[in-house]
Each structure stands twice: as structure tokens, then as C-alpha cells.
Amino acid sequence: MGWGLLFVLGLCLGFYLLYINGLLMLSAKIAVIFAGYIRKNGEAALQFAGCNGQVKRVLRFHKAGNYEFAYRSEISEGTVTLQILDEKRRELISCMGMNYAAKLEVEEKKRYYMVFRFINATGKCSVMWN
């Protein structure tokens, strides 16, 4: 029983380390169709149908500075909310509209969180950083 517990704890620690370094994405959703990607540099392109839940990814920027953020969506049904949170999970950007653009000042090697929340959503959306 001791080795089994150590294995489970090691596995949990491994997944946690992958997540906080932006190499693993957390997803808690139910969807008829869900396809796309969320890259660790913050670029995303998603297509979904009948989607409920959320998808979360840690972002790390290798250079400090101002980044331009552009969100585009074509939602035919339901709602999609995108949030960018800082390390303390304070909201920096929140958007629900079709098109949204903002500038965000980031610090080097700090963690930021990108969270998509879906409520009966059907459509597609994308995120770009410059």
C-alpha cells in the first residue's frame, strides 16, 4: 500500500508541475463537438458545439512588455467568456463579445491564466497575441 500511495502522489505532483509550467491544459467540459488548440504562448483556435464547462491554460511570457491581445468569435448559440488572470487569479481581461482587442503589460516568467467558459455554446473563437 505504501508504494501505491507514493506512486499516486508522484503522479499528482508531476501533473501539477506540467500544469503550472504551461505544458498541460485543464479541461472540465461536456460538448457534442470540441476541436482546436490552446498553445502555451496563448494562441488559441477552438470550434465547438453544445459545449458547457471550462478550459484553462497557464501562460508564461518569455519577455516582459506590452502585448496586444485580439479575441475573435462567431458564436451562433449560447455564450463564451474568455478571461486572462494574473498569478493571484485577479482578472486582467474579460471578454464576451464578438471581437475584442486590448493591450496587456506582462512581467517576464510570471504565470498568467487563460480561461474559456462555455454555456450551451456553439461556434468558434480564436485568440492571437502580438
Q: Report the C-alpha gap between 124 and 47 in whole angstroms.
A: 4
- What would the grid cell of residue 120 be? 450551451
| Nearest CA among 113, 85, 88, 83 for reference residue 21 | 113
What domains does the chain contain, in order, with CATH numbers?
25-129 (2.60.120.380)
Count of H helices and E strands in the chain? Answer: 1, 7
1/55: higher pLDDT: 55
What pLDDT is recorded for position 1? 59
Q: Report the C-alpha gap between 113 and 130 in whole angstroms.
A: 17
Residue 28 has pLDDT above 90, yes or no: no
